Amino acid sequence: MGLLDGKVALIFGIANNRSIAWGITKAFADAGATIALSYAMESLERRVRPLAEEIGCDFMEECDVTDDAALDDVFKKVEERFGKIDILVHSVAFANRDDLGGRFVDISRDGFKMALDISAYSLIAMAKRAEPLMSDGGSIISLTYYAGEKVMPDYNVMAVAKASLQIMTKYLAKDLGPSKIRVNTISAGPIKTLAAAGIPGFKDLLRHFDHVAPLGEMITIEDVGNAALFLASDLSKMITGEIMHVDSGYNVLGLTATREEIQARE
Ligand code: NAP
């Protein structure tokens, strides 16, 4: 018996085998879920198809999450094929490189709108379409980062998108609770992926992370996948509106400089 036997999971945001969405997909498939995958654009198809085949998934749909008609189409096809959704995963983010790094005050209006539309509003757009397909209740999970809570170097516009996603998680949890739909977000520690490569200071962040995080280890997509499995399953059936940190404990720290770094200044 798998934890997700009989459940259908629709997962947005798979780009390649390094994507957090792939770690989540594998964990769900191993737990018995039926998987439906959505990817951003045609050029990703050749990377996503072999991954889908690896887990025996034959539902793959292209969808730009800023396009309402494209979202309608994906949800309609899922309904036609499976009749329901039990789990929805939002693992999508994008910002112009110009709005990552540099000065926060230089974020452009257009860049702000685009980053927030793709990385945050899309969760509302997906939840609205998922609700009628979750008639037996469900679990909605998104991915956030600590930069939405505290200032981290270079995240700039993406920090605003993540803060937005985090408060949206709470409002959606309140809104969808009566339909027994739970909404949670996972705050993952830094992982080397395509999206992360767009953050100018990301390499420095990675180098620093395991030296100071309480558990002293980097985060993997498997770690995030396992946490998502818990949030997707009935094991977490009374948990909603939460920001769950999967970050080696980094978020509990007040001081993140190492003793060596501090002593080097003396
Ligand atoms: P990733 O593999 O690059 O995944 C990001 C996905 O978002 C890609 O599939 C990307 O497609 C997709 N996307 C971008 N614009 C889109 C659009 N308009 N429509 C549909 N999809 C679109 O990187 P990842 O690190 O796994 O990111 C997944 C999530 O985890 C993001 O929300 C990210 O902020 C979050 N997160 C990442 C880290 C980290 O350190 N990696 C830490 C905490 C949270 P394209 O490749 O075509 O752009």
Model pTM above 0.95 = yes
**201 pLDDT more than 90:** no
Read off the pLDDT of residues 162-173 as tens digits, 9 standing for 90 and up: 999 999 999 999
Q: Is 93 in the pocket of ligand 1 (CB under 6 A)?
A: yes
Q: Is 35 in the pocket of ligand 1 (CB under 6 A)?
A: no
Selecting among 39, 146, 155, 250, the annotated active-site residue is 155
**42 pLDDT more than 90:** no
Mean pLDDT of 40-46: 86
Q: Is 44 in the pocket of ligand 1 (CB under 6 A)?
A: yes
C-alpha 195 to ligand 1 mean position (Å): 5
**218 pLDDT more than 90:** yes
**Positive/negative CA dihedral, 239, 125, 192, 103:** negative
Read off the pLDDT of residues 79-132 as tens digits, 9 standing for 90 and up: 999 999 999 999 999 999 999 999 999 999 999 999 999 999 999 999 999 999
Q: Is 198 in the pocket of ligand 1 (CB under 6 A)?
A: no
CA dihedral 42, 48, 49, 55 (to 10 degrees): -150
pLDDT of 44: 78
Q: Which of 235, 143, 237, 231 is nearest to 190 (CA)?
A: 143
**122 vs 201: which has the higher pLDDT:** 122
Which of the listed residues 20, 90, 155 should we mutate to test ligand 1's pocket, taking the one with most ligand atoms within 8 A of CB?
20
pLDDT of 37: 98
131 conformational bin, left if phi > 0, alpha if psi -120 to 50, beta if neither: alpha
Mean pLDDT of 246-265: 92
Selecting among 39, 145, 146, 250, the annotated active-site residue is 145
**56 pLDDT more than 90:** yes
pLDDT of 112: 98
146 is catalytic: no
**30 pLDDT more than 90:** yes
pLDDT of 141: 99
207, burial (CB in 10 Å: exposed 0-12, middle 13-18, buried 19+): exposed
Q: Is 159 in the pocket of ligand 1 (CB under 6 A)?
A: no
Q: Is 52 in the pocket of ligand 1 (CB under 6 A)?
A: no
155 is catalytic: yes
Read off the pLDDT of residues 149-158 as tens digits, 9 standing for 90 and up: 999 999 999 9
C-alpha 159/C-alpha 84 separation (Å) is: 33
DSSP structural state of residue 12 = E
C-alpha 221/C-alpha 234 separation (Å) is: 22
DSSP structural state of residue 207 = H
Q: Do residues 11 and 37 lie in contact, with contact meaning Cβ atoms separated by under 8 Å?
A: yes
pLDDT band at 239 (very low <50, low <70, confident <90, very high): very high
Percent of the chain topping pLDDT 70: 100
pLDDT of 266: 79
Backbone angles phi, psi at 139, to 5 degrees: -135, 125
Encoded amino acid at 24, one letter: I
C-alpha 196 to ligand 1 mean position (Å): 8
